[in-house]
Structure 1
Amino acid sequence: MGTTATTQRRTGGRPARRLAGVAVAAVLSLVAAPGIAAAAPTNPSDAQIDAAQQQTQTAAQQVEAITAALAGAQASVDSAREESAIALDAFQGKQAEHEAAQVVADAATAAAAAAARDLEVARADVVSFARQSYQQGSTSPTLEALTTADGPAQMLERAALLEAAGAHQGDVVVRVTTAEEQARAAQEQAAAALADAAALEEEAAAALAVAEQYERDARAQAAALADQQAAVQQQLAQAQQSLQGLQAARAEAERFAAEQAAAAAAAAARAESERAAAAQRAATTPATTTPAPRATTQPVVRAPAATTPARPVPAAGAANGSAVETAIAAAREQLGVIYSWGGGSLTGPSMGWGIDAGIVGFDCSGLTRYAYAQAGISIPRNSSAQYKALPKVSRADLQRGDLVFWATNTSNASTIHHVAIYLGNDRILEAPQSGSRIRETSMRWGGFIGGARPSA
């Protein structure tokens, strides 16, 4: 009985000890070689991260510096663009003067041609009179007719007839003289009108050349600024991306190491617990194994997604039939149309001038003139002329449909460079500048010189 019990204790404890040894060996193998389960991510060095941080900081400083420089440079671009608009306005004014002078010149040329025709007719009458005198053998037909009369009665009769003929010939001579003077005056007026038109055309061309140069400078500066800003932003983005990649790699390596350490600690704890349990079981009864309860997965019940009913789109209000609303509606129809330097006619978008030749659209004053033309109100072509020609409106008295103007010098109307339509509630509709499109936007009060009312 004692021998049997002793034998059972010796032989019965061996399986439990073998199981515990296998478990410990398995844990040790996991701790010693974690790469068997998953490859450990590369952990960047402190020097690599420090270098990336320095590179990012340097790029950020460059961005800050270029942003400050761009602020000053943008002011230069804005100034060049304002000068361009002023020069374009001057060109449009000279162009309008040239067109008016050309009309006068054409009328004067037509009058000179008519006077020349009258002169030719009068000269033909003189030639006819001279031919008749020559055929009669005397340049004094009156004396010859009187001396060849048959008597006093015939002489008196011929004298009366010759007096009437003399008066007619005198009229012919007077008409020739008058026609010559009229023709000469008409020719002088035509020549002067043509000279004025030519001079204005030259002035317009010179103004256009100045405007084009300003606009080219503004565009070149704007393009250079955009390139510089894009370059430094790209450098910063690359530095930030590099730093973020290194930081993410370090975080992943640290997470992996922590997971491996936690897994090893948990495995060691389980092995120790199993060893102790096996030892206790070996001391009392043969080891038994109890299958672990199978985990069950509960189905996930998802609540139905909430839906938001679509809001009905409000219907547009009825259009106002007034001149102001007609003009605003006409301008709104052009929203999105490209800005064209010098573009815009009374009937719609048109080819631009100079640097925007070939681009169909509107400039600022072309849009305002077009809009009010659709309401039956005629206003000048260029913005400074619009401001000068229309009744003035102060900021406090601005109403919907008024034109609002900006100038580089708010005390000098000749420096006006932009015009827009005021919509009320500090909103405007405008053709902003080259490269942009017609839009509605907030009112800008900086540089505001005043308003004008086309409907007044």
Structure 2
Amino acid sequence: MDSGIRSGTARPSGARTALRVVGTALAGLVVLGLTPAVADAAPRRPGDSRIEAAQAQADAVTGRIGELRGRLTAAQASVDAARAVSAIALDEYQATQESFEAARAHADSAAAASAQAAAELGVARDDVAVFARRSYMEGSTYAGATALVTAGDPGQLVERAALLEAAGSHRSDVLGRVAELKVVADRADAVAQVALVQADALQTEAAATLEIARTAEISARAQAASLAAEEEQLQEELGAAQQQLQTLVGARAAEERTAALVVASSAPAAAPAPAPAPAPAPAPAPVAGTPSSSGGGSTSPAPPAGTGDASVAQRAIDTAMAYLGTPYAWGGGGTRGPGPGQDPDLGIVGFDCSGLTQHAYARAGIPIPRNSRDQYAALPKVSSDDLRAGDLVFWGTDPSNPRSITHVAIYLGGDRVVQAPQSGDVVKVSPMWWRGYVGAVRPSAR
């Protein structure tokens, strides 16, 4: 019996042990988040090699994005540099052309003075020729001898002698005048010849400078067209790469990576030619004195209405604003208004940047040079903290070097300018920008 009781109790004890083993296994599966039915189907945590491979792929895409952005930046910098070369070459041409026109005017004036001196010399020589002919016909170089011999009495003799002496003095004066006029005529002719040679030399120089400028402008436009075509393709590739990066690392991480690339690519600033900022729709007449928000300093209030500076500046602004929408013409316009551009803008009537500013101030009664660098050099300078409506503002490839100036506009106040920006564009109002800013001048302060 005892053995039977022991034998009977032994079987239930073994079952409980087996159940405990199975229960422990199930509990372990539950802890792992699995059940026997799905344990084999659940995804496994990627190993280090897979994580590293995904990271490497993300890094490769990030590098591709950086490369694409670098190509766009380099291409734009190349275009900006080409445009700067063109702008400076055009400035050189305009300065040389202005010198030629002044030399030509001087040559014309000298030629007129020479012709006048020659004419006066001719008249004096005619007087001498008449005297010589009369003396020969009367048989004496002293035509008054007969008058003295035929005098009726001593009183008449004295009277005629006095008159003849005066006439003789007059003839001496005529002969002296001929000699003087000959010197004057020779000198005037020499001046005219030198002035003509100088004018011709400047005309030749202007033509050569124009050809250099034209070649630079054509090259800049070709590079800009190539950039436009390349940019469209690169932007498509860039969008695909950014989408791939988002898939790999998530939207936020992709944005952070892209932002870091943008900061890195924009850090080195070799200061290419400043590209004009995009223009908003033309705004109402400007209000001077609004503080600047672009980092270039603040603007001071304009002089009270009615003062000389303010009225002159406002006339210049009104003139420029009247030409909103007028085409940009490379080398076009000036004192007399819009004018035909130089090749490659033949057939386009409008303004380049300095042509617009020159015309605006010519209409306001202040003559200023034709090209932007001479405008800056010739006019009173003003600080960026003291900008007023009507001031001329300048940009260049090197903000510390006025000889690098490539662009000029008229400051309107309210952190805006009116400008003739570049080929393919029109006279328009744009936000003020400070990258490449060289300085400002105030024509009304002359």
Alignment TM-score, normalising by the size of structure 2: 0.64
Within-5 A mapping of 1:220-239 = 220-233=222-235
Shift of 1:237: 7.9
Aligned-pair CA distance for 1:64: 5.1
Residues 353, 203 of structure 1: alpha-carbon distance in 2 compared, 3 angstrom cutoff: same
Per the alignment, residue 386 of structure 1 pairs with: 375
Q: Does 1:138 align with 2:140?
A: yes
Q: 1:240 to 1:382 in 2, by over 3 A?
A: closer
Partners of 1:230 and 1:406 in 2: CA distance: 29
Question: Where does residue 75 of structure 1 map in the other structure?
Answer: 77
Aligned counterpart, 1:359: 348
Secondary structure of 1:455's counterpart equals helix
Distance 2:207 2:426 in 1: 27
Which residue of the partner structure matches residue 192 of structure 1? 194
1:178 has 2:189 as partner: no
* More displaced stretch, 91-100 vs 158-167: 158-167
Which whole-Å CA distance do the structure 2 matches of 1:432 and 1:379 have between them? Answer: 20
Contact 1:108 1:193 in 2 (8 A): yes
For 2:112, the equivalent position in structure 1 comes to: 110
Q: 2:312 aligns with which of 317, 323, 329?
A: 323
Residue 124 of structure 1 corresponds to which residue in structure 2? 126
Counterpart in the other structure of 2:86: 84
For the 8 Å contact 2:68–2:238, the answer to whether it is kept is no
Residue 344 of structure 1 is matched in structure 2 by: 333
Separation of aligned partners in 2, 1:395 and 1:176: 63
Which portions of structure 1, spanning 4 or more consecutive aligned residues, are displaced by more than 6 angstroms? 57-63, 142-155, 235-241, 315-321
Note the alpha carbon deviations across 1:343-384, whole angstroms, 9 max, x for none. Answer: 223453221123212111111111222223343333222211
CA-CA distance at 1:112 after TM superposition: 1.4
Whether contact under 8 Å (1:391, 1:454) holds in the other structure is: yes
- In structure 1, the residue matched to 2:426 is 437
Output the CA distance in 2 between the equivalents of 1:59 and 1:176.
Answer: 93
Question: Is 1:428 equivalent to 2:423 in the alignment?
Answer: no
Q: Which runs of 5+ in 2 are unaligned?
A: 1-58, 244-282, 288-304
- Which structure 2 residues correspond to residues 244-255 of structure 1 after superposition, within 5 A? none
AA in 2 matched with 1:85:
A
Matched, 1:372 2:354: no
Larger radius of gyration: 1
1:247-304 CA-partner distances (Å, limit 9, x unpaired):
xxxxxxxxxxxxxxxxxxxxxxxxxxxxxxxxxxxxxxxxxxxxxxxxxxxxxxxxxx
Partners of 1:339 and 1:227 lie apart in 2 by 23
Query: 3-state DSSP class of the match of 2:440?
Result: strand
What is aligned with 1:205? 207
Q: By how many angstroms is 1:328 displaced?
A: 2.5
What is the alpha-carbon distance in structure 2 between the residues aligned to residue 153 and residue 331 of structure 1? 83
Distance 2:178 2:133 in 1: 16
Pair 1:96-2:98 in alignment: yes
Alignment of 1:161-176 (within 5 A): 161-176=163-178
Structure 2 contact 65–241 (Cα < 8 Å) conserved:
no
| Structure 2 SS opposite 1:373 | helix
Q: How far off is 1:75 after superposition?
A: 1.5
Letter in 1 for 2:323: Q
Q: What RMSD, in angstroms, separates the aligned Cα atoms of the two structures?
A: 3.4
1:451 counterpart = 2:440: yes
For residues 111 and 196 of structure 2, the distance between their equivalents in structure 1, rounded to whole angstroms, comes to 9
My pick for the range that moved more, 347-356 or 79-88, is: 347-356
Work out whether residues 62 and 232 of structure 1, in 8 Å CA contact, stay in contact via their aligned partners in 2.
no
Q: Distance in 2 between matches of 1:80 and 1:240?
A: 31
Per the alignment, do residues 239 and 126 of structure 1 end up closer, same or farther by CA in structure 2, a change over 3 Å counting? same
Q: What TM-score does the superposition give when structure 1 sets the normalisation length?
A: 0.63
Q: 1:390-448 CA distances to partner (integer Å, 9 max, x unpaired)?
A: 21111122122211111223333222211112223432222111222223222222221
- Judge conservation of contact 1:352–1:359 (CA < 8 Å) in 2: yes
Please give the alpha-carbon distance, in whole angstroms, between the structure 1 residues aligned to 2:151 and 2:421.
Answer: 93
Task: Please list the CA deviations of residues 180-219 of structure 1 after superposition, one character each: whole Å capped at 9, or x if unmatched.
Answer: 1121122112212222222222222222112111111211
SS at match of 1:441: strand
* SS at 2:443 equivalent: coil
Q: Deviations over 1:94-133 (max 9, x none)?
A: 2222222222222221121111111111111111111122
- Shift in alpha-carbon separation, 1:447–1:139, aligned structure 2, 3 A: same
Following TM superposition, by how much is the alpha carbon of 1:239 offset from its aligned partner in structure 2, in angstroms? 10
Offset of residue 88 of structure 1: 1.1
Unaligned runs of 5+ in 1: 1-56, 242-314
CA distance in 2: counterparts of 1:225 and 1:411, whole angstroms: 29
CA contact (8 A) 2:379 2:441 kept: yes
Q: Which has the higher contact order (CA 8 A, sep 6+)?
A: 1
For 2:124 and 2:376, the matched residues in 1 are separated by: 52
Amino acid at match of 2:67: A
Structure 1 position 148, deviation (Å): 8.8
Q: Give 1:234 deviation, angstroms.
A: 5.7
Question: How many correspondences in the alignment?
Answer: 327
Match of 2:302 in 1: none
Letter in structure 2 aligned against 1:362: F
Percent identical: 53
Query: Structure 2 vs 1, CA of residues 226 and 132 (structure 1 numbering), >3 Å: closer, same or farther?
Result: same
Q: Aligned partner of 2:86: which letter?
A: S
Query: What is the distance in 2 between the residues matched to 1:318 and 1:228?
Result: 38
Which letter does structure 1 place at the counterpart of 2:374? A
- Looking at structure 2, the residues matched to 205 and 318 of structure 1 have their Cα atoms a distance apart, in angstroms, of 40
Distance 1:238 1:182, change over 3 A: same
